[in-house]
Amino acid sequence: MQRIQPRAYVAGEFTLPGDKSITHRAVMLNGGAEGEAIISNALLAEDCLSTCRCMRALGAEIDVDGTTLHVKGTPRFRRGRELNCGNSGTTLRLLTGFLAGKEIDATLYGDDSLSSRPMNRVAEPLSLLGADVRTTDGHAPVYVSPKPLHGAEVELSIPSAQVKSAVLLAGISAEGETTITQPVQSRDHTERMLSAMGADIRVRGNRVTVKKSVLKGMNVCIPSDISSAAYYMAMGALKGETLCKNVGTNPTRTGILKAFDLLGVEYKLLHQYVSGGEPTADILVKKSSMRAISLTAEDVPSMIDELPLVALLCAFAEGESRITGAKELRVKESDRIATTVELINNLGGDCQELEDGFLIRGKKQLSGGDVNSYLDHRIAMTGAIGLLASERGGNLYHPECCAISFPEFFDKLDIKLY
Ligand code: S3P
């Protein structure tokens, strides 16, 4: 448990850790590619360490030097491995697709939270390519057995980058062409990295086509994670002024900036450049008075991990905000609709649970109170920001789970965890 005191004013410049989604992909794809690669500014949080652990078990060599990884890939994976994916849905889902295409057998499993999350969403589309992927009543452990794959037309019903990526990573080993159609564009880091590593891939709007390809190792310089920066950006909007440096601004990830536009948050993108195929910028955010917003399904994928934080900002905005089309939040590391509603109400806010989102009646100020993260890293960090911005602060239960994506989260706010 951590006591968090309110702060009247927060100003500062923050350098945030590397992007989680891009680190997973850089390690996984280079681990299964021909040749060697250097990955710089990698995120060494628990989720990405799960991907490193699995790739080493499959035969890739990965040396860690600070936040730089030296990866020697193995195009021929070791068979019969039991792969511990920890808390990481990205590790388990993407690797299931990658391994199905490699025609090997493996078992992928994870912790209690990961074992409760849906896995048929990857097993079913992969079966259209001929893959032999079995789940345990729709959950992990997931068993992959060797079977040659063929191309297929796959229409996804949910806008999930993890599912899309699993199919793409299987598709590069399939005979023929695989085309995926997604209902709304989700993050496209896999498409960008596959293309840069020599894969035969074409993107037209919401359709992506891949053909059989051999991946070549590629150096990757990873921008800072906008999903981690978002907490410090929110601090700026609520309490002063923050500058987050070298943040990835891939347009499939910048929904938080759209939410800022609607809320009336004052921000600026400075020093915009492209690094390793990904747009990057410094983001300056200033204290702003906010107004209520309305978000729907179209808005959700580009801010999926930031929605608990966006809901918290709505609790400080003038008027009634409505977020819908966000049912996917129910199957994250916690049921993030239920845990966010509890968080906001325990802080003294007024948030009502909808089947697929939230109704939030904003107040100028939240009193503070006790918040439980339910071991969900995004809920822990959203709770911490809510407490810092509240009148009295309060206790945060299970704060240490922020190590899943952002181990230095509390240090950078000068909060010592005991
Ligand atoms: C991720 C995709 C998203 C996101 C997760 C990371 C990825 O999940 O919530 O934190 O790296 O592909 P879904 O694909 O399930 O929406």
One pLDDT digit (tens) per residue for the chain, 418 residues: 999 999 999 999 999 999 999 999 999 999 999 999 999 999 999 999 999 999 999 999 999 999 999 999 998 999 999 999 999 999 999 999 999 989 899 999 999 999 999 999 999 999 999 999 999 999 999 999 999 999 999 999 999 999 999 999 999 999 999 999 999 999 999 999 999 999 999 999 999 999 999 999 999 999 999 999 999 999 999 999 999 999 999 999 999 999 999 999 999 999 999 987 899 999 999 999 999 999 999 999 999 999 999 999 999 999 999 999 999 999 999 999 999 999 999 999 999 999 999 999 999 899 999 999 999 999 999 999 999 999 999 999 999 999 999 999 999 988 666 5
Domain match, 389 and 284 both: yes
Domain match, 401 and 317 both: yes
Question: Which residue, 220, 250, 272, sits at the end of a domain?
Answer: 220
Most ligand 1 atoms within 8 A of CB, residue of 121, 160, 190, 406 to mutate: 160
DSSP lists the bridge partners of residue 136 as: 139
Which value, in Å, is the radius of gyration of the alpha carbons in the chain? 21
Domain match, 85 and 153 both: yes
- Tokens at 97, concatenated: 């697709």
Domain match, 279 and 303 both: yes
Q: What element of type H or E holds 121?
A: helix 120-127
* Three-class secondary structure of residue 278 per DSSP: strand
Angle, alpha carbons 249-253-257 (nearest 5°)? 70
Atom of ligand 1 nearest to the CA of 21: 11
Minimal-distance CA residue to ligand 1 atom 9: 305
Please name the residue ranges forming H helices in 264-388.
Answer: 307-315, 336-346, 377-388
Distance CA 18, CA 195 (A): 21
Domain match, 203 and 244 both: no
pLDDT at site 418: 53
Question: Which residue, 220, 235, 267, sits at the end of a domain?
Answer: 220
Domain match, 9 and 26 both: no
Q: Identify the burial level of 70 via C-beta atoms within 10 angstroms of its C-beta, where 0-12 means exposed, 13-18 middle and 19 or more buried.
A: middle
pLDDT at site 417: 60
Domain match, 216 and 227 both: no
* Residue 63 is a catalytic residue: no
- Tokens at 345, concatenated: 């109400």
Domain match, 253 and 349 both: yes
- Residue 182 alpha carbon to ligand 1 centre in Å: 14
- Tokens at 24, concatenated: 């997973």
Question: Which residue, 220, 254, 269, sits at the end of a domain?
Answer: 220
Domain match, 209 and 297 both: no
Buried residues in 136-172 as b, exposed as e (16+ CB within 10 A): eeebbbbbbeebebebbebebebbbbbbbbbbbbbbb
Domain interval for residue 116: 20-220
Q: Count the domains in the chain.
A: 2
Site of tokens 């500062």? 12
Domain match, 205 and 238 both: no
> Exactly one of 105, 305, 376, 411 is catalytic; which is it?
305
Distance CA 194, CA 242 (A): 34
The pTM score is: 0.97
The sheet that has 350-354: what strands, in order across it? Answer: 294-295, 320-323, 357-361, 350-354
pLDDT at site 89: 98
Task: Give the other-Cβ count within 10 Å of 176's Cβ.
Answer: 12
Residues near ligand 1 (Cβ within 6 A): 21, 24, 90, 160-162, 165, 187, 304-305, 328
Domain match, 249 and 338 both: yes
Domain match, 261 and 369 both: yes
What region does 282 belong to: left with phi over 0, alpha with psi -120 to 50, or beta?
A: beta
Q: What is the CATH number of the domain that holds 32?
A: 3.65.10.10
